[in-house]
Structure 1
Amino acid sequence: MNNLMLTNVVPPKMALSINKSSTVNLYSSALITFTFISVIGLLNFCQKANAAETPEKPAHLVSVESVKKEQVKPSIWLPANVISRKNAPISAEQTGQLLWIEDVGSQVKKGQLLAQIDDRHLKLQLAGQRAEVKQHQADVDYLTGQKARFLKLREKNNSALSEFERVNKDLTIAINEVAALNISVEQTLLSLEKTTIRAPFTGNISQRFAHVGELISVGRSLVQLIDTKNLDIKIAAPISIAPFLQRGSKVMVKWNKTLLELPVRTWSQAGDQASRTFDVRLAADGIAMLAGTAVTVSLPKQAPIEAILVPRDALMLRENETYVLTIDADQQAQKVAVLVGQGVKNWVSVTGALSVNDSVVVRGGERLQSGEKVRFMNDQKEEVIAKVNL
């Protein structure tokens, strides 16, 4: 038993070593815990400081209008193309070598030179014809004098009637030959004029079909001339909407994220049996469009009905959607997708989740996102809140 008790007794040096190790471990654990708590506290303090330093995002300044309901004509949106009323290939009317031609993209005025064909052979031809005219004119002058002399002799009965008649016949033939030669001269002058090809109307050179040095034949197309000012928008419209069209009435055109209001200029009085469509033309004079531009046009398709109207400035046109921004009771903007219909002056009929008297943003909404706070121009706040609470 004494031996057992002796084996369980720890030597003094070993006990002292164990106590020191435990103390160090406890101190290290306390230090780590204190450091961890300090770091967390510092992080919380930094977050609160940053939150205090970050100012609240200011509300967007906007102007609003109220949605209303009126009678409009239901419409259909159709694809269309911008075309030029004058678009013609300008051809050569004479044969010859091409000496000069206007470049592609050049803006030309009516009567301006487009191309020049070699005219030397025509000038030589003209010189020869004029020489022949002078020669035959000399015969006319001679025979005219002869006729006058024979008339004097005939008065005294000193010449035969047959001689007088022969001279008179030769004179008539000579006069007719001079007249025919003068016509040939005029034709050659016209041919010379046609060697300079001039613009029949003001426009732009869109294509060039020949090059300097080529031998040009009659009827060969040289350039394509397009009138860039007098434009039409051409729509292939269903025949069923023909009764609802009115000449001069304005319709909506969507182009380049913009809504335009253009008048109906004219339309075809006959349709295509295969497609059951007919051509409708809108006047697009003075609009900065290129011929060939694709647009979308709203044309009336039914008798007038009541529809929701919003100001045209309220529409946000994007590549994949069209929407308006309404204001809720918390003075926040909310995006509402809409389909655009017929235009009525500065208003446009729309289909979407809108009600009469809803407030829609008409100014300041270009960078406004759904859910952002707004403030109002011209003390409109009370008016908007009153409408929302109705």
Structure 2
Amino acid sequence: MKAMFKSQATALALAISFSMGALAQQAPPEPPPALVEIDDVRSEMIAEQIWVPGTVVSRTDSDIASEVAGRITWMADVGEVVQAGDVMVRLDDKRLQLTLGQNDANIAKWQSRVDLLERKQGRFTTMAAQNATSKDQLDEITSELEIARQELQQARLDRELTAYHIAQSQVKAPFTAMVVDRLQTPGEYTSIGQNLLRIVDTTNIEASIRAPLSAIPFIKTDMEVLVKNNHQSLTEKVRAIVPVGNAQSRMMEVRVQLRPGDFAIGSAVRVALPHSDFHQGTTVPRDALVLRKAGAFIYQVDDDNLAQQVAVRTGIGVGERIEVFGEVNDASPVIIRGAERLRPGQKVRYLDEGEQTAAIN
């Protein structure tokens, strides 16, 4: 009996020893693929860039004045959007209405005078033909008639001018714009040419920037440039170049067209302008660079989803991207997030753009 128990114990010990040996011979499990975010490598035309400051302005920013004098009875409020042709300011036109009445009376007076002289001229013409009156009398009546007609014409022009002034007592918007400032208020008396309101077209904006004259050979109209502030960065087109500077600043003005709503009028922006000739270069996002004491490198993902380390040298910066030199494969994506934790040859995985950020964070 003891021999049987001893034999079973020996068999159990041998089985345990065999299992532990088999486990020891198995390779350790591979770590899971690292989660990374990728972007593309681009071969594009690039140039050295300089960042210049600018201000967002409206192409139409006007101080509106009146062509007539009068007391202000109503005025559009600050913040109102007025359409082209809408009344913005109303002036008291009582005095002008009285003048209009005087003009009507003056027209009637001279119209009666003309009618009388025309009848008189007709009678004297008949009498002169019959030698019943002198030609001097006929000439005198003809002269008086011509003077009366001229006075009638002047009276009609006076009425037309008064009617025009009455119309101008309602100051209308010359274009669709927003009222941004009241330079006078209702109840005040305004004189001819005195500014009443400041209106700004908020739908037609651009960036006015001061650039060095040395940039003239490298920029042209309709060229796309990068415009940015503290919150966003957008690509816009150069609308106009004013290649005129002065001896002190050596600066010129460049206007860049902007889309309504992208930037607030009056805000500060920076614009990237080319400052060298364009050349073909390879660029990657700046976040792809991994900097070490030994130099800079990037990680690219091969067809087997393995991270391959590539040593690079950097060139000129182009916005959020930078030129690189080295054995960079244009067809393979570059890792822009998660590269600091990688080892050469490590397996990686990546998700859609929206899922990448959530997963890595």
TM-score (norm 2): 0.73
The match for 2:222 among 243, 248, 251 is 248
The match for 2:112 among 134, 138, 142 is 138
**Deviation, structure 1 residue 61:** 7.3
In structure 2, what is the Cα distance between the partners aligned to 1:224 and 1:158? 72
In structure 2, what is the Cα distance between the partners aligned to 1:233 and 1:200? 23
In structure 2, what is the Cα distance between the partners aligned to 1:57 and 1:134? 103
1:196-211 matches, cutoff 5 A: 196-211=170-185
Distance 1:100 1:360, change over 3 A: farther
Task: Report the equivalent of 2:328.
Answer: 356
The match for 2:209 among 208, 224, 235 is 235
> What does the per-residue CA deviation read over 1:115-148, in whole Å, with 9 as the maximum and x for residues that have no partner?
1111010000110111111011100001001111
**Deviation, structure 1 residue 70:** 3.9
Task: Report the equivalent of 1:67.
Answer: 41
The match for 2:69 among 89, 95, 98 is 95
Distance 1:261 1:91, change over 3 A: same
**Deviation, structure 1 residue 154:** 1.6
Amino acid at match of 1:302: S
In structure 1, what is the Cα distance between the partners aligned to 2:94 and 2:51? 58
Amino acid at match of 1:277: M
Based on CA coordinates, which of the two structures has the bigger radius of gyration?
1
Task: Report the equivalent of 1:115.
Answer: 89
Task: Report the equivalent of 2:246.
Answer: 272
The match for 1:295 among 261, 269, 275 is 269
In structure 2, what is the Cα distance between the partners aligned to 1:305 and 1:158? 102
Task: Report the equivalent of 2:256.
Answer: 282
Amino acid at match of 1:191: H
**Residue ranges of structure 1 left out of the alignment (5+ in a row):** 1-55, 316-324, 333-337, 379-390
Task: Report the equivalent of 1:381.
Answer: none
1:120-199 matches, cutoff 5 A: 120-199=94-173
Q: Is the 8 A contact 1:251 1:342 kept in 2?
A: no
Give the secondary-structure state (helix, strand or coil) at the position aligned to 2:90: strand
Task: Report the equivalent of 2:5.
Answer: none
**Residue ranges of structure 2 left out of the alignment (5+ in a row):** 1-30, 289-297, 309-313, 353-361
> What does the per-residue CA deviation read over 1:163-188, in whole Å, with 9 as the maximum and x for residues that have no partner?
11111111011101111111111111
**Deviation, structure 1 residue 287:** 4.6
**Deviation, structure 1 residue 301:** 0.6
Number of equivalences: 300
Distance 1:354 1:262, change over 3 A: farther
Q: Is the 8 A contact 1:308 1:355 kept in 2?
A: no
Give the secondary-structure state (helix, strand or coil) at the position aligned to 1:251: strand
In structure 1, what is the Cα distance between the partners aligned to 2:231 and 2:50? 18
Amino acid at match of 2:322: V
> What does the per-residue CA deviation read over 1:37-82, in whole Å, with 9 as the maximum and x for residues that have no partner?
xxxxxxxxxxxxxxxxxxx9997574x3332444412111111111
Give the secondary-structure state (helix, strand or coil) at the position aligned to 2:249: coil
Q: Is the 8 A contact 1:107 1:203 kept in 2?
A: yes
Give the secondary-structure state (helix, strand or coil) at the position aligned to 1:211: coil
> What does the per-residue CA deviation read over 1:7-59, in whole Å, with 9 as the maximum and x for residues that have no partner?
xxxxxxxxxxxxxxxxxxxxxxxxxxxxxxxxxxxxxxxxxxxxxxxxx9997
| Identical amino acids, percent of aligned pairs | 29
In structure 2, what is the Cα distance between the partners aligned to 1:169 and 1:76? 79
TM-score (norm 1): 0.68
Amino acid at match of 2:240: T
In structure 2, what is the Cα distance between the partners aligned to 1:298 and 1:98? 48
**Deviation, structure 1 residue 252:** 1.2
